[in-house]
Chains A and B, each alone.
Chain A
């Protein structure tokens, strides 16, 4: 097991490095640079080329791309992600300020997805081919194929305006000291909207997996022993049916993190999504690189953790 983990970590390094190269190349390919984004089109005449050049030098943008990449890499090795061009603050600090908000939102969505998805999946499996199953199938398709922003705006309209259950946006009530409950209150709507896609996929996988398990011999044995149906489903069937879902969790995390960008912007959620979108529009290179690096790291780690967890949960799996 230990060798397996070490090997996985060793493989992760070149992957991470490759990702930074790709991110850097794409950032470079975006037309314009930070100075262009600073100077509005109407004000461009107020700047002489020498001034623009001086501004570029000021931000180190006059150096060739590969030099800048290696500088970035060198600093990364020292644990330094650089300074944001917009704010002048260290990228690490800015990310650490926002990462918790994003992780909280993703974690809540994931939790929501797993719990609701599993319950609905079990129902769908038990009631296979009934109207409930068919309704859930249709809903599953709708949830998985409708873009998040539709649910987001619809959700705000219905559950904040028409039925004033939740705040329209934000993470806390301004000013007042935020209580635990008010935070949960702000979290419900964005997390549910973000998690709907996950609900659908967990539901479908649980259903399939449950149907598989229910037909196994040991379930028949359990029934033959005269156990009640609830005990059979929850203790015997569901526990085994959940094992494949661990893979799903691993696969779901990158989707959720990607999905937060638009959800965060709509709900004014002060996380990484809002932050990185602003950085991309302003060509704030250190922030773009830093955010992508951290997200890649989170995704790689979560995949690794999922794989390891798999080995623990399912005794049939061995990594050697």
Chain B
């Protein structure tokens, strides 16, 4: 029997019909309501919102993919991630304001024992979860345990290495966590293995408290990843913060609405949206168009943003500096005079004025928290002659060879940094120091840093607490060896055990003066952040602005006051 052959015409008809229908079906299918990638069925999200007009929605931009969506502290694992959303949907024991001073949140008061080993927190009694259940000390204790369970893969070193019984609990050799006690429903006591000043700043400011009544049934492995389906599920993503999670679509947007029963008062703005607007150029256009209300303005958009009629531009003094790490192991930089010469040779003020639109200033301490900065530090003002003198003196003693070439590594990919590094190279060439520039993309840069493959390494520097620096200088694993100065090591150790703040400040001043003279690393510039707010946005105070740049470890403690006018 002869088979009926497919003719050309049939083929053309069939294939074009198929192509068209597949295409249209694809478009239509994707029109289905936003689905969560969860296995748990989700109630229709729009109904939960109840509010939905642009007039009462505050819109933020978020990069793609936004960092941490889970309320677990990102810095335990995802360093540069932001966790804006969790900061608004969840609560912490206390928050920090823009002076790094603590403000009560869930805890109304707290005390630290004289030897800095016992931290006691009293909780407020009117806090409720978004599902109406009361929030108690049990929730705090179980959040800590949950986070310290190995299966969560969080490995919170500040907790495991400090909390009594922490390591054993983490390793699974103990089932009880002895360092956490809850004598009553509204008291939590943390006991540490050994004195640690300011431990609560480092460990607790970003501890998002999770509801025990929900998470007791959840396996750690199922929620640890920050894009785990649980965080997209309104039934599981329950917090006690001023806003409630409604829905999210990864890489596209997150929608939260106000929590009318928030213990801190009913928020003014009905809805907040975090939306992915694409690259900075697109974000800028969205800001201009009024689609975007709050934007962290990148340096190169600063001048343009100032020209926009619908936007107010605010400058924020950031406790953020950039430094040049110097390779402790490199013989080229072994002599102090060579390091000082580098500091004198670079025209930092000039860089700020010309390349940074004045959005920075030279900085001379490793301590970037303004209130802890030591007075009377050598400012290392631009002085190429002094640099040459110092180099000549070092050369005379055989400690500097003019044929040396320093390898300078940086990881900021923008054009601005290319210009900055070129300027640094030029400045140093003027005093006879040859520099080889090498840009490395983030991950490669970290590898080069750990492997000591640099002479100068440009990086951002932002510890949150004075006691954090200790580890960087004295037990540094970076570049294999710490800064080998017994006196400084001793002083650093003393800071961790000195309870009296005045005394502690004195020690920190001493260390700063010492580092300012020795320059084991080269503090470089301190920056101002730029924030653009649509004129319709209200209630964004200094704390709120500041938090735009510190979202990873500070709460939005005035979010209830944010508002938008129609």
Q: Which of A30, A88, A111 contacts B225 (CB 8 A)?
A: A88
Q: Does A164 contact B (CB under 8 A)?
A: yes
Give the interface segment out of A6-14, A18-26, A32-40, A290-298. A32-40
Is B459 interfacial (CB-CB < 8 Å)? yes
Which residues on the B side are within 8 Å of A275 (C-beta)?
Answer: 251
- Complex contact B277–A31 (CB within 8 A): no
Q: Given A42-B79, A153-B282, A171-B252, check contact A180 B31 (CB 8 Å).
A: yes
Q: Is A92 an interface residue (CB 8 A)?
A: no
A309 and B6 alpha carbons, distance in the complex (Å): 12
Known A164-B289, A169-B278, A170-B275; judge A43-B75 contact (CB<8 A).
yes
| Set B46, B153, B252, B447: member contacting A36, Cβ < 8 A | B447
Q: Is A135 an interface residue (CB 8 A)?
A: no
CB distance from B368 to the nearest CB of A (A): 11
**Which residues in chain B, 149-169, are within 8 Å of chain A measured between CB atoms?**
153, 155, 157-158
Interface size on A, residues (CB 8 A): 70
Q: With the chains together, A32 CA to B285 CA distance in Å?
A: 35
CA distance A266 to B276 in the complex (A): 10
Where chain A touches its partner, the secondary structure class is: helix
Q: Is A61 an interface residue (CB 8 A)?
A: no
Determine whether B111 belongs to the interface, using a CB cutoff of 8 Å to chain A: no
A179 interface residue per 8 A CB criterion: yes
Q: Is the CB of B275 within 8 A of A38?
A: no
Q: Do the beta carbons of B477 and A44 come within 8 Å of each other?
A: yes
Q: Which of B26, B46, B273, B449 contacts A44 (CB 8 A)?
A: B449
Task: Report whether B79 and A40 are in contact in the complex, using a CB–CB cutoff of 8 Å.
Answer: yes
Q: A37-B443, A176-B46, A177-B46 known; A42 and B462 CB under 8 Å?
A: yes
Contacts A43-B79, A168-B291 given: A104-B27 contact, CB under 8 Å? Answer: yes
- Contact check, B252 vs A172: say whether CB atoms are below 8 A apart: yes
Shortest C-beta distance, B64 to chain A (Å), equals 6
Query: Which residue, A31, A86, A111, A283, has most C-beta atoms of chain B within 10 A?
Result: A31
Query: Are A168 and B228 in contact (CB-based, < 8 A)?
Result: no
Distance in angstroms between the alpha carbons of A177 and B30 in the assembled complex: 11
Contact of A211 with B by CB under 8 A = no
A312 and B11 contact, CB distance less than 8 A: yes
Residues in B with CB closer than 8 Å to A97 are 37
- Chain A CB within 8 A of B227 CB: yes
Q: Are A41 and B291 within 8 A (Cβ)? A: no
Q: A88-B228, A169-B278, A179-B31 are in contact. Are A270 and B249 (CB under 8 A)?
A: yes
The verdict on A101 contacting chain B, using a C-beta distance below 8 Å, is yes
A157 within 8 A of B: yes
Q: Are B225 and A265 in contact (CB under 8 A)?
A: no
Given the interface pairs A101-B30, A156-B285, A161-B289, the reply to whether A169 lies near B49 with Cβ below 8 Å is no
Q: How far is B26's CA from A268's CA once the two chains are assembled, in angstroms?
A: 19
Contacting chain A: which of B178-186, B235-243, B259-267, B468-476?
Answer: B468-476
Size range of the chain B interface in the assembly: 35 or more
Indicate if the CB atoms of B275 and A174 lie closer than 8 Å: yes
Q: Are A86 and B255 touching (Cβ within 8 A)?
A: no
Task: Bits for B199-226, please: 1 = Cβ < 8 Å to A, else 0.
Answer: 0000000000000000000000000111
- What is the minimal beta-carbon distance from B220 to any residue of chain A, in angstroms? 12
Q: Is the CB of B30 within 8 A of A41?
A: no
Query: B278 is contacted by which of A93, A267, A282 (Cβ under 8 Å)?
Result: A267
Judge whether B277 and A168 touch: CB under 8 Å: yes
CA distance A103 to B445 in the complex (A): 35
Q: Which of A45-53, A66-74, A126-134, A195-203 contacts B (4 or more CB under 8 A)?
A: A45-53
The answer, yes or no, to whether A184 is at the interface (CB within 8 Å) is: yes
- Select the residue from A38, A100, A309 with max chain B CB neighbours within 10 A: A38
B281 within 8 A of A: yes
Checking B49, B79, B463 against A39 with a beta-carbon cut-off of 8 angstroms, the contacting residue is B79
Within 8 A of A (CB), among B34-69: 34, 37, 45-46, 49, 52, 64-65
Chain B, residues 246-259, CB within 8 Å of chain A (1/0): the string is: 01011111010000
CA A309 to CA B291, docked complex, whole Å? 46
Instruction: Assess whether A104 is in contact with B276, with CB atoms less than 8 Å apart.
Output: no
Complex CA distance for A33 and B462, rounded to whole angstroms: 24
Interface residues in B435-461 by Cβ distance below 8 A to A read 440-450, 459-461
New A-B contacts (9) at CB < 8 Å, excluding given A41-B445, A266-B281: A36-B450, A44-B477, A46-B158, A47-B157, A51-B155, A54-B155, A87-B227, A268-B278, A268-B282
18 A–B contacts, CB within 8 A, in A order: A37-B443, A43-B75, A46-B158, A87-B227, A88-B224, A89-B37, A100-B30, A107-B23, A111-B23, A169-B278, A170-B277, A174-B253, A175-B49, A175-B273, A176-B46, A266-B278, A309-B15, A313-B12
Leading 10 A-B pairs by shortest Cβ distance: A40-B79, A32-B443, A88-B225, A31-B444, A268-B278, A87-B227, A169-B278, A312-B11, A268-B276, A174-B253
